[in-house]
């Protein structure tokens, strides 16, 4: 396997910083796309999702339980509009709230995008507010 990088004729190494597919945060890496970046009209974006591997933070959350990410109703299913709210729930919660087939899939995958309306129906807004208050209190204590 060659260790060389074919440069893009216009954008050279064509660097980008990968973001996590689940939370949308930077993975803290740089990827050199080079000639793999096919556009001649624009350079690659500074940040882009290049794979479905979760970042270190999401991996950690997924080890604790099933990670649910709130997304805007009606947004693109392949790349939904994340709304910033993330909650980790126990497998038992998933089994109680979803039909068996869906619950089994969620438990196996350890993460899911939940549209706003479903988020409300599951009663997750209450926990979202409490979690945000707890995080703010922790920030205030460390300041």
Q: Encode pLDDT of 21-60 as tens digits.
A: 999 999 999 999 999 999 999 999 999 999 999 999 999 9
* pLDDT for position 84: 87
- Please list, residue by residue across 83-122, b when 16 or more beta carbons sit within 10 angstroms of its beta carbon and e when fewer do: bebbbbbeeebbeebbeeeebeebeeebbbbbbbebbeeb
Give the DSSP H or E segment for 128.
Answer: helix 124-142
Of 70, 112, 68, 59, nearest in space to 88 by CA: 68
- 3-state class of 82 per DSSP? strand
* pLDDT for position 133: 46
26-30, 46-50, 112-116, 133-137: segment of lowest average pLDDT: 133-137
* pLDDT for position 121: 94
> Mean pLDDT, to the nearest integer, of 118-138?
71
């Amino acid at each position: 396997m060659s260790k060389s990088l074919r440069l893009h004729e216009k954008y050279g190494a064509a660097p980008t910083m990968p973001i996590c597919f689940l939370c949308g945060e930077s993975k803290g890496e740089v990827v050199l796309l080079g000639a793999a970046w096919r556009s001649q009209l624009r350079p690659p974006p500074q940040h882009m999702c290049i794979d479905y591997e979760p970042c270190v933070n999401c991996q950690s959350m997924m080890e604790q339980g099933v990670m649910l990410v709130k997304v805007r109703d009606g947004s693109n299913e392949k790349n939904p509009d994340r709304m910033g709210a993330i909650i980790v729930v126990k497998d038992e919660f998933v089994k109680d709230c979803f039909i068996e087939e869906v619950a089994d899939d969620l438990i196996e995958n350890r993460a899911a995008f939940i549209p706003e309306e479903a988020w409300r129906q599951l009663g997750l807004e209450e926990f979202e507010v409490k979690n945000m208050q707890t995080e703010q209190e922790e920030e205030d204590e460390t300041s």
